[in-house]
Structure 1
Amino acid sequence: MESGIQITRDSKHAFEEIWKKRTHRYAVFSVQENREIIVDALGKRDASYDDFLADLQGEQDEDGACQCRFAIYDFEYEHHFKPMDSSTSKLKLILVLWCPEQARIRDKMIYSSSMCSIIRTFIGVQKYIQANNLDDISREAVEMQLRAMDRD
């Protein structure tokens, strides 16, 4: 079931800036007023993974609930070719659905039901990751999932 929430033109533009132009490292998106998906944060190309995680987590609201988010991240890592004993830098575009355990159930439902629209709109994503805590989205965990997709 889809939520009917619209993806703004700015959100689509931010995706293009990351995927095609490579001018940004990441974008973090949120659902605004249960109507549209907007850009919350845009990371510069030289932004660190810790910067990304900080923007992804956002802030807790007055009740202590965490916020759900979507994110696109252009993940860079070294791929090692075993037979030739060489390596090369690889870039893979990931889409993250951040639904922390402390988020409201209603928010989790809205974000989960909006995921299909995001996937259809952001064509070119190579890996989808749902993260419920920081261990799920740690640099090491993501890199391990991406390496599993590589050929030796």
Structure 2
Amino acid sequence: MADSASGMAVSDECKIRFQELKTKTSHSSIVFKIDESLRAVAVERLGKPEESYDDFAASLPADDCRYAVFLYFDSVGKSTIFFFSWSPDTSRVRTKMIYASTKDRFKKELDGIQVVLEATDPSEMSFDIVKDRAL
């Protein structure tokens, strides 16, 4: 496990699942959670390949922070890997600080991210925004 600036480790499973998303498209998305008791970022949820963007967005908690990646395909089949830093206004301040201090180091562990979006409410990560930002 690699350590981040906040002292949070990044589990090997995070990197393995991200590689699977990139190379095998065996997941449409991955949601990551910081487990404070383990002091590590871990995989919380793997999106099935047939799941939609709406399914992915609905999987993020309304009142807690998460990191997530989503594999977007445009109408001609070109893919873009999005990294989301989800930090809703209703989440605890301490949690927001931990996620903010861990984000850059965690992103570096996931080689291949193409677009980064930070969101504090669902409107900041609407599907229209994703389509507009896709490469």
TM-score by length of 1: 0.81
- Is there any run of 5+ residues in structure 2 with no aligned partner, and where? none
What is the alpha-carbon distance in structure 2 between the residues aligned to residue 51 and residue 18 of structure 1?
Answer: 17
Q: Is 1:18 aligned to residue 25 of structure 2?
A: no
**Partner residue of 1:132?**
120
Deviation at 1:128, TM superposition (A): 0.6
Deviation at 1:33, TM superposition (A): 1.6
**Partner residue of 2:70?**
73
What is the alpha-carbon distance in structure 1 between the residues aligned to residue 48 and residue 67 of structure 2?
Answer: 17
**Partner residue of 1:112?**
100
Which deviations, in whole Å up to 9, do the C-alpha atoms of 1:95-143 show, x marking residues without a partner? 0000011111111111011111112100100001101100111111111
What is the alpha-carbon distance in structure 2 between the residues aligned to residue 138 and residue 90 of structure 1?
Answer: 19
What is the alpha-carbon distance in structure 2 between the residues aligned to residue 44 and residue 12 of structure 1?
Answer: 18
What is the alpha-carbon distance in structure 2 between the residues aligned to residue 6 and residue 104 of structure 1?
Answer: 21
- Is there any run of 5+ residues in structure 1 with no aligned partner, and where? 61-65, 79-87
**Partner residue of 1:85?**
none
Query: Of residues 43, 56, 62 in structure 1, which corresponds to 2:60?
Result: 56
**Partner residue of 1:91?**
79
Name which one, 1 or 2, has greater alpha-carbon Rg: 1
Structure holding more helix per residue: 2
What is the alpha-carbon distance in structure 2 between the residues aligned to residue 75 and residue 110 of structure 1?
Answer: 27
Q: Is 1:6 aligned to residue 1 of structure 2?
A: no
4+ runs of 1 displaced by more than 6 Å?
none
Deviation at 1:2, TM superposition (A): 2.3
Q: Which amino acid aligns with 2:128?
A: E
Deviation at 1:5, TM superposition (A): 0.5
Deviation at 1:27, TM superposition (A): 0.4
What is the alpha-carbon distance in structure 1 between the residues aligned to residue 77 and residue 12 of structure 2?
Answer: 31
**Partner residue of 1:33?**
36
Size of the alignment, in residue pairs?
131
TM-score by length of 2: 0.91
